[in-house]
Amino acid sequence: MSATKLETLALRKEYPGTVALDSVSVCFEGGKIHALLGKNGAGKSTLVKLLAGAIQPTSGCIHVDGRDVRMRSPNEAFANGIATVYQELSLVPQLTVAENIFLGRTPKRRGSRGLMIDWPQTFADAQKLLAEIQVDLDVRRTVAELGVAQQQLVEIAKAMSFRPSALLLDEPTSALAQHETKNLFALIRRLAANGVAIIYITHRLQELEAIADCITVLRDGKLIGSIDMADANAEGIFTMIFGRVEQKERPASLKAGDEAILQVNNLRRKNALTDISFTLHTGEILGIAGMLGSGRTELLKALFGAEPFDGGEIRVGDTLVRSANPMRMKQLGIAFTPENRKAEGLVQILSTRVNMCLAGLNRIAPRGWLNRRREKKIIDQLAGDLDIRVSNIDFPVSSLSGGNQQKVVIANWLTTEPRIILFDEPTRGIDVQAKQQIFQIMWDLACRGISSIFVSSELEELLEVCHRILIMKSGRIVGQVRPEEISADELFVRCLEK
């Protein structure tokens, strides 16, 4: 494969009220892994979508190997050798790996009842492709049976089936735990070694050392610069991304109260949770560490009443709950920010304004009447506290950048003025600065006596933020640690061990 050059010249994309990308001229070369960096809303996905033919530029142009190309659809991008894996996975869970790779393009043969899918050929082609890119997966398994890390590999295989000379990856690791990225990185490196130009978006700056050859930084839609990794250092990269910002640290005086706000006794659900018992105190931030599938999300859902439990009890303050449902738990002061913002957290077609107030409607519209003044006050305050960037609060929430959508999910639950907030992976897809803002929110809430339960796959985060961390495995709590007693590596080992 010959090395390709993908170049943008004064590329610009405007939306009503925002310039998402502002005259960006940048060059991506074949054989290299280009990390594309920038805080939430910086314009990274916009640049990728323009290169992928998914949206059209307002002005400027794109050159592939010096040729001016207009790409009016993803198919035209494929024809120019550009393939993309988007921020949100697009696989069909019920279909096999092979079908997903060749979705809409499965080999056909003439049968007794007309044209039908040639299964042996489909599986053989998929097998051959996977062998070529050295991915070890059973092509006959359905995607639903695979873990997220493997699904991500299928997405890349699907993109590679178009034989691209440039591969664009929008946050391929945001849904993966750190140790799950190994195979993905190895694959990306092999593709680059074959001459493919890789454009790789990530918020995990600690990955750069391992994966990037060069970095390109956007801020507020503008190109800040492109540099070789060899010339970069962590502080310099941070400043390019954020400008000058102050790093906040956990307040020294942050101490949990000793009053129990939540008591969980022998909570069980068949095949999911076994004998879960713990106490949460006022103003306490309680972390839950554990591998994927260890029951962390199931536990939060049970506490919120989103999934029933078979036995045991939950005591919120003085109220004993033997059967929970979200309405009841919300009344008792529990809020829940789910991990999957697209499916559970937001109503994509509704505006940012509405999405920020869904959970807290009874406060904003007491007795059913919407109080616009109160609504505006609450929204302005939250948008400021969380630094939510919106060009127009009445546009669909789907027009927000990934990280800003995540912040809307959190804002929505803060409007309910809860006593306890259950955070399930709240920092997924969020830039370092926004992450700090979310931690700051948890600390501020804690200072006001509001408690949090915080699930995260990033163990460093748990150690930075929490008072205490429970370790879950196979639906049980198998240990409890204090952040000052343990390192991230040791905690990781504790999550794995029998």
Residues that bind ligand ATP (CB under 6 A): 15, 18, 20, 38, 40-46, 389, 391, 395, 399-404, 431
The answer for residues whose C-beta is within 8 angstroms of residue 67's C-beta and 6 or more apart is: none
When CB distances are held under 5 to 8 angstroms depending on the partner's kind, the choice from ligand ATP, Mg ion, none that residue 18 binds is ligand ATP
Question: One-letter amino acid identity for 411?
Answer: A
When CB distances are held under 5 to 8 angstroms depending on the partner's kind, the choice from ligand ATP, Mg ion, none that residue 32 binds is none
* Two tokens, residue 300: 């939060």
When CB distances are held under 5 to 8 angstroms depending on the partner's kind, the choice from Mg ion, ligand ATP, none that residue 440 binds is none
Three-class SS of residue 355?
helix
Three-class SS of residue 294?
coil
- Strand 285-289 to 468-473 pairing: parallel
The answer for residues whose C-beta is within 8 angstroms of residue 443's C-beta and 6 or more apart is: 250, 251, 254, 285, 465
Task: State the minimum distance, in angstroms, from the CB of residue 390 to ligand ATP.
Answer: 7
Task: State the minimum distance, in angstroms, from the CB of residue 481 to ligand ATP.
Answer: 32
When CB distances are held under 5 to 8 angstroms depending on the partner's kind, the choice from ligand ATP, Mg ion, none that residue 20 binds is ligand ATP
**Cβ distance to ligand ATP smaller for residue 402 or 426:** 402
Q: For residues 389-408, which are near Mg ion according to CB under 5 A? A: 402
Residue 81 touches Mg ion, criterion: CB under 5 A: no
Task: State the minimum distance, in angstroms, from the CB of residue 87 to Mg ion.
Answer: 5
> Which residue in this structure is represented by tokens 């092999």?
190
Q: How many other C-beta atoms are found inside a 10 Å radius of the C-beta of residue 394? A: 10
Residue 45 touches Mg ion, criterion: CB under 5 A: yes
The answer for residues whose C-beta is within 8 angstroms of residue 369's C-beta and 6 or more apart is: none
When CB distances are held under 5 to 8 angstroms depending on the partner's kind, the choice from Mg ion, ligand ATP, none that residue 399 binds is ligand ATP
Q: Which stretch binds Mg ion (CB under 5 A): 42-50, 324-332, 335-343, 369-377?
A: 42-50
Query: x/- binding map, residues 347-386, to Mg ion, per CB under 5 A?
Result: ----------------------------------------
Task: State the minimum distance, in angstroms, from the CB of residue 401 to Mg ion.
Answer: 5
Cα 86 to Cα 84: distance, rounded to the nearest angstrom: 6
**Cβ distance to Mg ion smaller for residue 172 or 418:** 172
Task: State the minimum distance, in angstroms, from the CB of residue 349 to ligand ATP.
Answer: 13
Instruction: Report which of 460, 478, 427, 379 is spatially closest to residue 174, judged by C-alpha positions.
Output: 427
- Strand 166-170 to 82-85 pairing: parallel
> Which residue in this structure is represented by tokens 């070694």?
193
**Cβ distance to ligand ATP smaller for residue 303 or 383:** 383
Q: Facing residues of 453 across strands?
A: 286, 422
* Two tokens, residue 8: 């943008």
**Cβ distance to ligand ATP smaller for residue 151 or 399:** 399
**Cβ distance to Mg ion smaller for residue 395 or 492:** 395
When CB distances are held under 5 to 8 angstroms depending on the partner's kind, the choice from ligand ATP, Mg ion, none that residue 15 binds is ligand ATP
Task: State the minimum distance, in angstroms, from the CB of residue 165 to ligand ATP.
Answer: 23
When CB distances are held under 5 to 8 angstroms depending on the partner's kind, the choice from Mg ion, ligand ATP, none that residue 297 binds is none
Kindly give the interhelix angle for 372-385 and 402-414, rounded to the nearest 10 degrees. 130
Task: State the minimum distance, in angstroms, from the CB of residue 445 to ligand ATP.
Answer: 23
**Cβ distance to ligand ATP smaller for residue 44 or 467:** 44
Task: State the minimum distance, in angstroms, from the CB of residue 395 to ligand ATP.
Answer: 6
Three-class SS of residue 113?
coil
Residue 40 touches Mg ion, criterion: CB under 5 A: no
When CB distances are held under 5 to 8 angstroms depending on the partner's kind, the choice from Mg ion, ligand ATP, none that residue 194 binds is none
Task: State the minimum distance, in angstroms, from the CB of residue 455 to Mg ion.
Answer: 23
Is residue 289 within 8 A of residue 497, CB to CB? The reply is no
Q: Which stretch binds Mg ion (CB under 5 A): 40-48, 64-72, 159-167, 218-226?
A: 40-48
When CB distances are held under 5 to 8 angstroms depending on the partner's kind, the choice from ligand ATP, Mg ion, none that residue 202 binds is none
Residue 57 touches Mg ion, criterion: CB under 5 A: no
Q: From residue 453, how far is each of 182, 218, 358, 467 by CA, in Å?
A: 29, 34, 22, 10
The answer for residues whose C-beta is within 8 angstroms of residue 15's C-beta and 6 or more apart is: 391, 399
**Cβ distance to ligand ATP smaller for residue 265 or 398:** 398
Phi, psi (deg, nearest 5) at residue 80: -95, 10
Dihedral (CA of 222, 226, 229, 234) sign: negative
Task: State the minimum distance, in angstroms, from the CB of residue 210 to ligand ATP.
Answer: 20
**Cβ distance to ligand ATP smaller for residue 46 or 416:** 46
Is residue 51 within 8 A of residue 82, CB to CB? The reply is yes
Q: How many other C-beta atoms are found inside a 10 Å radius of the C-beta of residue 229? A: 18
**Cβ distance to ligand ATP smaller for residue 16 or 66:** 16
Task: State the minimum distance, in angstroms, from the CB of residue 43 to Mg ion.
Answer: 9
Is residue 328 within 8 A of residue 382, CB to CB? The reply is no
Task: State the minimum distance, in angstroms, from the CB of residue 132 to ligand ATP.
Answer: 31
DSSP labels, 371-438: -HHHHHHHHHHHHHHTT---S-TTSBGGGS-HHHHHHHHHHHHHTT--SEEEEESTTTT--HHHHHHH
* Two tokens, residue 164: 């691209």
By the criterion CB under 5 A, which residues form the site for Mg ion?
Answer: 45, 402
